[in-house]
Amino acid sequence: GEDVEQSLFLSVREGDSSVINCTYTDSSSTYLYWYKQEPGAGLQLLTYIFSNMDMKQDQRLTVLLNKKDKHLSLRIADTQTGDSAIYFCAEISYSGGGADGLTFGKGTHLIIQP
């Protein structure tokens, strides 16, 4: 079955760049996503990338996709305390019956050190 793997924790200093990595297994994924979940809140879509792209930049966020290695990364430049959250990587999953919805990784806890 489909699987999305992420590291559970990442600790960075305020002002540094954060790089959150993700690997996925479904080679038929058309879109890959990054979601952010702050304490007690639902998920917020941060950004997404179409599978025929290698990179997407949106202000402080840069998404890199290596389709050959099925590796996705999210870089947050100039990390701030407000970036403290859990970051979920997600891919669209498919089965013989069609689309199954999004498959999420377990999330990476981003911890900001002052």
Partner 1 sequence: EAGVTQSPTHLIKTRGQQATLRCSPISGHTSVYWYQQALGLGLQFLLWYDEGEERNRGNFPPRFSGRQFPNYSSELNVNALELEDSALYLCASEAGALLETQYFGPGTRLLVL
Asked if residue 82 binds partner 1 (CB under 8 A), the reply is no
Quick one: which of 24, 34, 35, 87 contacts partner 1 (CB under 8 A)?
35
Can you read off the two tokens belonging to residue 62? Answer: 């840069």
Q: What is the dihedral of CA 56, 12, 104, 4, to 10 degrees?
A: 90
Q: Is 72 in the site for partner 1 (CB under 8 A)?
A: no
Among 45, 55, 77, 111, the residue binding partner 1 under the rule CB under 8 A is 45
Query: In this structure, which amino acid lies at residue 15?
Result: G
Nearest CA-CA partner of 55 in 65, 45, 47: 65
Q: Which residues bind partner 1 (CB under 8 A)?
A: 30-31, 33, 35, 41-45, 48, 88, 90, 92-93, 97-107
